Amino acid sequence: MAESVPVRCPACRREHLYAALSYPCVCGAPVTPPLDRLAEPAAVTHRTWDEDWVTVRCSACGREDQWPAPELGCSCGTELRIPVRGVRRPLRAPLTPGGVAEATHDTDEDTAFEDTAVEDTAVVAVPDTGTQRARTPEPEHPEHPEHPEHPHDDTPPVPRPAFQPVTIRTARDAVTAAALYLRWLGYRDIRRADQRPPTGIGLAARGILAQVDPTVRPASLRDVECLWLTAMTESAECVYFSLSGFADDARSRADTLGVPLFVLDLTGTPQPVNSPADELIAAGA
């Protein structure tokens, strides 16, 4: 378990104990961002894509990967970003259809990721035709003029193509995989959610709110309930993607609330784990 460090809110001066979340390296070892005890936390007033991520080296294999920056919500309403030792910001890497390019790294002063990174990735990876319905133009002289309000159309919907996954090696890959899957289901204009969830990364599109949890612990009952409550306030549906599965009480509560649950396997393919998830796959957006 990660060591807890004292954190003082710069807005209200309250003190908290914070322990950074651990994430799974591809070698199997847990990776925990090294917190800087000497630096003061900063209040998050404006979000940019690069500031939400930090590059951390695995102590077991030496691999460097990108993980969500440690943050803590104070009871006064201030969101605190916890400083990390030796942090380096990722540079934007060129995106290619169907995959994610390897990112290069440099110092904090270099070019930042734009907030549209998730949307750009989702748009180039899945063709629009996968979720559109084939339409037949209405004839000028319908065969049944006595029922003009019910035109006869037996054209079946075009099935979605096979989902093209993205191999998950980092937390960012998990977010990309979830965004691609939402795109495959038929959701458009996928973006970062306005509110950051207590755990993981939030994604949003018209009518849907998604939470992507790339940590090494199973999603808890509180995680599922917080997502559902946030979606209720925004009059939207919700879906939860987890890399490490769900606690038993979380799955039971999700069934009651109708929250679709998916486990992200390392190939990048979300696997449904409850009936609302099966229904979402069948119905799409």
Q: What is the DSSP string of 182-197?
A: HHHHT--S-EE-SS--
Q: In terms of Cα–Cα distance, which of 249, 251, 244, 250 is closest to 273?
A: 251
Q: Which helix (H) or strand (E) holds 167?
A: none
Quote the tokens at residue 175.
């977010």
The span from the CA of 193 to the CA of 204, in Å, is 5
Give SS3 for 13: coil
Q: Which amino acid is at 268?
A: G
Q: Per residue of the chain (285 residues), what is the pLDDT tens digit?
A: 566 788 889 889 988 888 888 888 878 788 888 888 888 888 888 767 677 788 888 888 888 888 888 888 888 888 888 888 865 554 444 333 333 333 333 333 333 333 333 433 333 333 343 444 444 444 444 444 444 444 445 555 567 788 988 888 888 889 999 999 999 999 988 888 888 888 889 999 999 999 999 988 899 999 999 999 999 988 999 999 999 999 999 999 999 999 999 999 988 899 999 999 999 999 988
pTM, two decimals, is 0.60
Report whether 224 contacts 196 (CB < 8 A): no
Backbone φ and ψ for 168, nearest 5 degrees, come out as -95, 115
Instruction: Quote the pLDDT of residue 181.
Output: 95
Quote the tokens at residue 171.
């937390």
Q: Which CATH number fits domain 116-128+165-283: 1.10.8, 3.30.70, 3.30.460, 3.40.1350?
A: 3.40.1350
DSSP 199: S
- Range(s) within the chain of domains with CATH label 3.40.1350: 116-128+165-283
Rama region for 13: left / alpha / beta (φ>0; ψ in -120 to 50; rest): left
Q: How far is CA 66 from CA 62, 97, 161, 223, 264, in A?
A: 13, 21, 30, 22, 17
